[in-house]
Structure 1
Amino acid sequence: MRPSPAFGRWLAPLLLAVSLVWTLACAAPASAGTAAVVARIDLSRQTMTVSVNGMPQYSWPVSTARRGYVTPTGAYRPQRMYRSYFSRKYYNSPMPYSIFFNGGYAIHGSYEVSRLGAPASHGCVRLHPSNAATLYSLVQTYGAGNTLILVTR
Structure 2
Amino acid sequence: MRPLQRRRAVIAALVALVATAIAPASALAASLVVTIDLSEQRLYVRDMSGPLHAWPVSTARSGYCTPVGTYRPIRLERMWYSRKYDNAPMPHSIFFHGGYAIHGTTETGDLGRPASHGCVRLHPDNARTLFDLVVAHGMAATRIVIRN
Q: Matched residues in 2 for 1:54 and 1:69: separation?
A: 35
SS at match of 2:90: coil
Q: Which amino acid aligns with 1:34?
A: A
Q: Which amino acid aligns with 1:119?
A: P
- Deviations 1:53-77 (CA, angstroms, capped at 9, x unpaired): 1500000000000000000000000
Structure 2 runs not aligned, ≥5 long: 1-24
- Deviations 1:90-146 (CA, angstroms, capped at 9, x unpaired): 000000000000000000000110000000000000000000000000000110000
Q: Which amino acid aligns with 1:53?
A: M
Contact 1:36 1:54 in 2 (8 A): no
Aligned residues: 124
The one of 57, 82, 86 equivalent to 2:77 is 82
Identify the residue that residue 135 of structure 1 maps to in structure 2. 130
Contact 1:32 1:38 in 2 (8 A): no
Say whether residues 1:91 and 2:117 are aligned partners.
no
Say whether residues 1:124 and 2:119 are aligned partners.
yes
Instruction: Give the CA deviation at 1:32.
Output: 9.6
Structure 1 vs Structure 2 CA RMSD: 1.6
Identify the residue that residue 59 of structure 2 maps to in structure 1. 64
Contact 1:62 1:125 in 2 (8 A): yes
The alignment-based identity, stated in percent, is 57
Q: Which runs of 4+ in 1 moved over 2 A?
A: 30-34
Gap change, CA 1:54 and 1:151, over 3 Å in 2:
farther
Identify the residue that residue 21 of structure 1 maps to in structure 2. none
Q: Matched residues in 2 for 1:118 and 1:32: separation?
A: 35
Q: Which has the higher strand share?
A: 2
Q: Matched residues in 1 for 2:43 and 2:69: separation?
A: 14
Q: Which amino acid aligns with 2:121?
A: R
The one of 110, 122, 133 equivalent to 1:115 is 110
Contact 1:33 1:54 in 2 (8 A): no
Structure 1 runs not aligned, ≥5 long: 1-29
